[in-house]
Amino acid sequence: MMKIEIKVPELGDGIDQVEVAAVDVVEGASVGADDTLVTLETDKAAMDIPAEVAGTVVQILVKAGD
């Protein structure tokens, strides 16, 4: 089984704080490529973070508000 760790992407200059607005999956869930895993929020915008590939969510290390 191949594990892929999802990390916060580079958000650009001046953005050093990002909050997890929502976790859109649960452990054990099957996801397709491009399905939303988490929604991140800065003081300026919100962005969905998609799965890179299809698979099963094994572990969630964050919660809303982190």
CA distances from 56 to 3, 8, 31, 41, 53 (A): 9, 19, 6, 24, 10
pLDDT by residue, tens only, the chain of 66 residues = 778 888 777 777 767 788 999 999 999 999 999 999 999 998 888 889 999 899 999 999 999 988
52 within some domain:
yes
Instruction: Look up residue 24 and give its two tokens.
Output: 């859109």
pLDDT at 11: 72
In this prediction, residue 35 carries a pLDDT of: 95
CB–CB of 29/56 below 8 Å?
yes
Asked whether residue 9 is assigned to any structural domain, the reply reads no
Domain annotation covers residue 28? yes
CB 47 within 8 A of CB 18: no
Domain assignment present for 43: yes
Domain assignment of residue 41, given as a range: 19-56
Here the tokens at position 66 are 């982190």
Q: Examine residue 66 and state whether it is found in any structural domain, yes or no.
A: no
Report yes or no on 8 lying in a domain: no
Number of domains into which the chain is organized: 1
